[in-house]
Structure 1
Amino acid sequence: MQPATRHVYLNLDALRGVAAICVMLYHFSPFLADGKVLPSSYLAVDLFFLLSGFVIAHAYDRKIEAGMGFGSFLLVRLIRLYPLYLAGTLLGAFYLLIKNTLMPGDYMPMSDIAMMLTTGMLFIPLVGNAYHTIFPLNPASWSLFFELLVNIAYVLLFFALSKRVLSALVAGSLALLIVAAVFSGTLDFGMTGATIASGLPRVAFSFFLGVLICRSMAQGGTGFLQSGYWAEMALLLTLVIFAIAPAGGGARAGYDLICVVLLFPVMVTVGAAAPTRPGLAKLFGWLGRISYPIYIIHTPMLMIIAGAGKAASIDPFANHPWFGIAMAGAVIVIADVATRIY
C-alpha cells in the first residue's frame, strides 16, 4: 500500500502557536503588568484538547484501521511528548535544588523533591492538599496528563467510536462540563488535586469533539471557506477571546462555555478548511513547531529566570513590563532551539 499524502494544517499550527504564547504571557502576568495579561488565556487548554482530537483523528484513524496496535500508538505519542516533558520536569527540580542553596529560609526537604521528581517523571499526579498543582515541578504538565489519558481512551475505544457513539460521548461530557462550570464559576479547573475529577469532562468534551469534527469534515461541505481571510480572522478571534475578562460568577462560566462549545469548534473548522496564504506558510509552520516547547517549559523557566533575577538583586515584579518581555523572549528562543536540536 502506498502511504497517503499527509495534509499539513498550517492554520491549526498557527492557532496552537498563538494560544501557547498567550498562555505563557498569562502566566507571566506579574512580570508584565499590575493585572492579568490576556485573562481568559487558560481557555487555550480547551483549544489544545480540541486541536489534539482533530489532529489525532487525522493522523491515526487510517493507521489504526490498517492494524496499528495500542503499544505502537502509545510509543509514538510518548516519543513525541516525553522528551520535552522530561526536560521541563528536570528544570523544575533544578530550580528547587538551586533555591535550597540560595534561599535556605525556604528550604524544601530533599525527600519531597525526590518524590515530586519521581512521580513527575512517571506521569503520576500528586493530589494532596499540600500541592498547589498535581505536577509541582512543571505545573503546565497537568493538561499533558489528561492528554495522555484521552489518547489512551481513543485508541482503546477506537473501533467502537462510530459517529453516534462519539456524539453521545460529546453530549455526556458536555453535560458534566456544564455542571462543573456552574459549581466552579469557571472552566479553569483540572490542575489541582481538588479539581482533578472536573478535568475529565473538560478534556473528553473537547478532544472527542475534535475527532468528530475531523471525521465530519471528510464528507465536505466547507467549500465556501476556500476564499477570503478566514484563517486570519480565526487567529484574530483567538486573541480577542483571550483578551476579554468577563465578571465572575455566572458571566464567567457562561463566557467560558460559549467559547469552548461554540467559538473554538468554529475556529478549528475554519482553520482546517481555509487555505494558508503562501506568504504566511513559514510563519504558521514555525508557530506550530514551537507551540509545544513553549507550553511545556515556560513555567519552570519562569521560576528559574525570576529566581536568577532575585539572586542578582533585581526585583522582577518592580521592573515590569521589561522583565516579563525579556522572560517571554528567552522562552521563545529556548523553545526554538529545543525544537531544532533537543
Structure 2
Amino acid sequence: MYPLMLVNPGLTTNLDDIYAWRNYQSEMENQTIVYVLVLAGLSDLPSLQLPLFLVFLLIYLITLTGNLLILLLIFTDSHLHTPMYFFLGTLACMDLCSSSVTVPRMLFDLLRDTRFISVPACITQVYFFFFFALSEISVLAVMSYDRYIAICRPLHYMQIMNWKVCVHLVLIVFVFSAAYSSVHTLFLAKLTFCRSEALQNFFCDLPQLLQISCSDIFINVLLIFLLGIMFGLAILTVTFFPYIVILRTVLKISSKTTRSKAFSTCSSHLTVVFIFYTTIFFNYFRSSANDQFTEDKVSSVFYTILTPFLNPLIYSLRNQELKISLRKTLQRLQIKNYSD
C-alpha cells in the first residue's frame, strides 16, 4: 500500500507519481470500512477449546479469590493498616480489574466458533487495558519508593509516608494512567479499519489493531515509542534505582532476622516487577513479523492472565505478616464454627 502523503498529481509532470497516486486512490475506493472485527483467539483447534476454557476459568477464579483474600486481610487486620499494605491492596485491585478486562471475554470466545467484536468495544477494551496496566506499573514504582523510605529512613517513615501522601500518590497514578490511556485511544479512534484479517490475539491489543488499519499509523507508532520510552524510563528509574540504595543499606544490617525480612519483602516485589516488565517489553518493543503471532499470544497470556494470578501467590507465600494474618483469620472462623 502506498503511503498517505503522496505528491499531488496536479503539481507534478512525473508520470510514475501520477500513476502511483491514481492506483492509491483506486485501492482506497475499493476498500470497505469495517465496523466489526474478528479475534483469532487462543487456538483454532476445536479439540482445545474446552480444555483451554476450563484451565483459564480455573486460573481466573484463583486470581479473583487470591486478590480478594489479600484485600480482605488488609481491610480486617489492623496490623496491616500500614502504607506498605495499602499499596499492596491497591496492586491487588489493579490485578482484579486488569484480568477482568480481558479474561471474561476470552472465556466467552472459547465457547463459540465466531469471535466478533465491534470497533468501539475494541477501542474501549484497549483504553481499560492500558489504564490498569500502567496503573499497576506505577503502583509497583511507588512500592519501590515506599520500601526505600522504610529501609533507608525508618525513623522518618511515618512522617514521610503518612496516609495523606499515600492517597495522593495513588490518585496521581490514576490521573496519569487515565491521561496516558486517553491519548492512545483518541488517536486510535481516528483510524479506519478496512481489512478482513483477524486480530492475532485473544483481546484487542494496540499492535494488532495497527496492523489491520488502512489509515496512516505513523503517529500511533510514534506515540507508542515516544511515550513508552519517556514514561517507561521514568517509571523504571523510580522502580529500580531505590534498590541500589536499599541493597547497600540491607548489607550493613547486623541482625540476620531483620536482613532476611527486608530481603524477603524486596525479593517478592522484584519478582513481580521482573515478570511484568519482561513480558510487556517483549510484546511492544520488538519486530512484529507475521510468524511471531504465537509468541505474541504467549507473552499476552503472561502479562494479562498469569501475572495477576501469580502476584497474590508471590506476596502471600513470601510475606510472613500476611501468612500470620491468614492463620489468625482461619482460627477465628474455626472458633466461630465450633461455638455455633
TM-score where L is the length of structure 1? 0.29
Return the index of the structure with the highest Cα Rg: 2
TM-score where L is the length of structure 2? 0.29
- Higher RCO by CA contacts (8 Å cutoff, separation 6 or greater): 1
